[in-house]
Each structure stands twice: as C-alpha cells, then as structure tokens.
Amino acid sequence: MINMMIKTNAEAKFATMATKKTVLKGMGYKNIMGLGLLLVLGSCTTLSKQDKTEGMSLEKLSLTDSIKPGGNSWVVNEVKDNRHLISDKGIRDWNDTNTIIRTYFKTDLAGQLNVGLNLKVTDGTSKLRVSLDGTTKEIQVSNQDFETVDVGVFELSTPGYHYVELQGMEKSANNFADVIEVLIGGQAANGKLTYVKEDFYWGRRGPSVHLSYTTPENMDILWFYNEITVPEKEDVIGSYYMANGFGEGYFGMQVNSETERRILFSVWSPFETQDPKSIPEEYRIILLGKGEGVTTGEFGNEGSGGQSYKVFNWKAGNTYKFLLKGEPSVNNSTDYTAYFYDVESEKWNLIASFRRPHTSTYLKRPHSFLENFRTEVGHISRMGEYTNQWIMDTKGQWHELTKAKFTADATARKGSREDYAGGAIGNKFFMKNCGFFNEMTTIDTFHERTANGVPPVIDFSLLEKPIQ
C-alpha cells in the first residue's frame, strides 16, 4: 500500500512538471523572457524592501543610558569657559567653533557603542562634529525642541574611561545647540558603566584621596614631620596637597590660581557648624601668633574654625618640609603650631599657632590627603609624592612612619568616579586623582614604603615662637 502511494505521488509530480514544461513550450520565447523579467523585477522589489527595513532598523539606535553634562562634561581647551557653558542644566551658550567639550564615562566592556544626543537648536541648522576613540562623525540638527538625535555607532577597542567629544562646525543661530544628555547604548554599554549620576558639585571636583599613617600604640605624639614633592606639570590649579593632617585640622600647600599659591594651616572649632559666625565665644579658635606675611581669619562650609595662610610661590619639583606641634594647654585646651621650611631660603617659617578650647590632647591620627577644590578642573589629573614621615614623642624620640592606609571620599566609595590611586613606590608614598585615568587603587588597603632611617635634623630652639 505504501509503495503504491509513493508511486502515485511520484507519477503525479512528474505529470505536473510535464504540464509546466508543455505550458512553457506553448508560451514561446518572448513570453518566457517576459515572465523571467517579471520574476527578476519581483525579486528586486523584495530586496529593496528588505534593504529599506534594515536601513530603518539602523536609523533608530538603542540608547539605554543617559549621561548628564552637568556632572560629566568639561570644556577642555579653555578652563574658564566651564563656569558659563556647563551647569546642572547641561551645555548652554555654546557659540565658539574653537570650544571642545568632552563628556567622560567608563565601561568595563569593549565593542560597539551607540551614541546619541538630547539637544535642540534655537533656529535654523547646526552642524556638529562628534568624536569618540579616534572616530569622528558629523551630524546636522535643526529641531527646536529637545529630542534625541542619533549620532552613530562607534567601536571601543578597550574597556576603561572614554569621552564623547563635541565641537561646533556651522550654525545659523547665535549658539550651536543646547545639550541636556549624552546617550549611549549597545554592546559596550551592557556591562558596568561609571559616571556621575548625582551630587554634581562633588562629582565635578573628583575623588579626594587620603593616607592615614600607622603609629606606635599608646604613644603621645608631640611633633609630626612630613615632606611633599609635586612633580613638574602635576601642580594643577585647584589642588590641595595636604601634608600634616591631624584629628582637629590640616596643614599643606595649594594652587589657588595661575598667579597665586598658598601654604594653608587650619584648625576646626569643637562646635560643629558650617557658619563660623554662629560659634559661641567659648568654642572659638584663639590665634596665639602668626608668622610674617601670614593672613589669618575664619573659615566655613566644611566645618568651621581658625584659618591661616601664607601666599608663597612654591615650585613643582622642589621638596618642601612641614612641621606641626600639638600639646595640651591651659583650661582644657590644646595648642597647635605649624612651621613650613622654604628650601630656597633654607629656614623654618612660622605659619601660625592656634588654641582649641574644650580639647586636651597631643597629636592624633596623622594623615595626608590630595584633593581638588575647583570644579572646572576635575578632568585634569594631579599627583603628589609624600615622603619621609616622622613623629616625635614627648620623650624627644623620633619614630619613622613607613606604613599607611589608603582611603577615599564618598565620590569614590559610591562609584561615581574611579580615577584615584595611591600607595608606595620605593621610599615614597604617592597619591593621584582626577583626570579619568584607568589605574585604580583598592580603597582601605595598606601600603608600606622603604624606610629612610635618618630622622630630621631640627634645632627646635631656633624655631620662631608665637607672639602671645
């Protein structure tokens, strides 16, 4: 039965083929050619539809993450322009063809990355250049309401920090565009992405890093000595290289502007407030004396207390020395006195001496830190070398500090930025932050430098005494 069915089906199929052959034979050559042309045209039409569908799917990119310029973008060729071009509202008043704006982010995957911009123009059409990892694309925009404009697909060859670079080429209106989002998606965006999502002020300043030095147990520390060398080209505006930190204050050197640098020494009041004018009289820091050319006053915003600074044009590449004394004083108070060694004049300079009420202690928690206090330069890296740390106890014995714990602030700990590093190289500790570099030191790790073995040589009797 099965054989009969197979035979019948085969015969039927053969008959159908024969019929088709007869029909084609009857149609003649011209008709066959016409049918062939129809088939070809039909095939071309189908291909055209398929290409069009594929083109349409490419036109709308998958964009899954929104990076806000307010916390992640900088004008990189004119630092001063950051103040008026970039804010929490995005990129505004962008009108100069020379302006280069970069938006930074970090991926843990390589591969294709889709890029788009949420923007608008005020009038006419603008032509923009968009670059990423060596590839440049140009787009024209004319929408006068905010909407997403696809830029294209870029290839990231490595994971790590990257930036989308914008530059205006042509415009009809006064400004190129207002940009409120840089959008990314695709393969390279499928893993972990790092960028600033909140607290834009702190995110733009970048992560602060610290070294907390390990000291012998149960020791009263009277003096704390440290040295700092800032390598050439690492002395970036907005940097505070803090050498001698302690439980109640800090002492170090800053780059305040292109024309001014300072040696800064501050002591916090025991009364916690951000407004120094609200501190009760009995909790106010008392100035015991200050050195020549030193300005003193109060400070606020990050705690409040007494502040002193000396305008001093310290130079990158030189090694500067810092010496701090802390000891209990009268009526349950503590006196803190800071000295700075100028390598060019080869002498110790008194910065200031402060008395802190409601406190009776020797020096506690010796540490150093590196921070950026200017938001417009958070995209520029800076580094300092912290060397030759020593403490002296109340018996007059020096003790070298060769071990330190590396820590970082909330911006680093919550993963907003990962451009921070620190540790030991040879007989030096170092710290580095900002600039979106890829090497990163694990927070809360201990590091040990090689001991120098030679304590500081200081004639304490020659140090300038604070004038009461």
Ordered DSSP codes for 422-467: EEEETTEEEEEE-S--S--PPTTEEEEPPP--------GGGSPPPP
Query: What SS3 state is found at 316?
Result: coil
- Whether residue 320 contacts residue 254, with contact meaning beta carbons closer than 8 Å, is answered with no
Dig out the tokens for 80 from the structure.
């001063």
Domain parsing of the chain, residue ranges:
65-195, 203-462
Confidence of residue 277 (pLDDT cuts 50, 70, 90): confident
- 65-195 folds as Jelly Rolls (2.60.120)
What's the rounded Cα separation, in Å, for the pair 308 and 314? 17
pLDDT band (50, 70, 90) for residue 29: very low
Residue 323 has what pLDDT? 99
C-alpha span between 184 and 107 (Å, rounded): 11
Tell me the average pLDDT across 180-197.
98
Whose CA is closest to 408, among 397, 399, 418? 418
pLDDT at position 454: 97
pLDDT class of 270 with cuts at 50, 70, 90: confident
What burial letters (b/e) apply to 127-146, b meaning 16+ CB within 10 Å?
ebebbbeeeeeebebeeeee
User: Which of 6-10, 33-37, 55-59, 147-151 holds the top average pLDDT?
Assistant: 147-151
Q: Which of 60-64, 260-264, 269-273, 439-443 has the lowest mean pLDDT?
A: 269-273
Cα–Cα dist 11/387, whole Å = 98
pLDDT > 70? residue 5: no
pLDDT, mean of residues 209-222: 98
CATH code of domain 203-462: 2.60.120
Side-chain half-sphere exposure of 451, counting CA atoms within 13 A: 7
List pLDDT tens digits, range 331-347.
999 999 999 999 988 99
| pLDDT score of 141 more than 80 | yes
Instruction: Please give the share of the chain, as a percent, with pLDDT higher than 90.
Output: 80
* 196-219 mean pLDDT: 98
User: Which percentage of the chain shows pLDDT scores above 70?
Assistant: 85
- pLDDT at site 248: 96
Residue 301's pLDDT band (boundaries 50, 70, 90)?
A: low
List % helix, strand, coil for the chain (3-state, nearest 5).
Answer: 20, 45, 35
Q: Which segments within 291-402 are labelled E, that is strand? A: 294-299, 305-311, 319-329, 333-342, 347-356, 367-372, 382-393, 398-401
Could you tell me the CA-to-CA distances from 441 to 242, 247, 356 in Å, in that order? 19, 25, 36
Residues 108-115, mean pLDDT to the nearest whole number: 98
Average pLDDT over residues 290-296: 95
pLDDT at res. 281: 85
Query: Average pLDDT of the chain?
Result: 89
Q: What pLDDT was estimated at residue 271?
A: 81
Position 13 scores a pLDDT of 41
- pLDDT at position 298 is 62
**Distance separating alpha carbons of residues 33 and 111, to the nearest angstrom:** 49
Domains 65-195 and 203-462 belong to one CATH topology:
yes
Read off the amino acid at residue 404: A
d(CA 121, CA 240): 40
Q: Are 214 and 399 in contact (CB under 8 A)?
A: no
Asked whether the predicted pLDDT for residue 230 surpasses 90, the reply is yes
Residue 6 is predicted with a pLDDT of 36
pLDDT of residue 21: 38
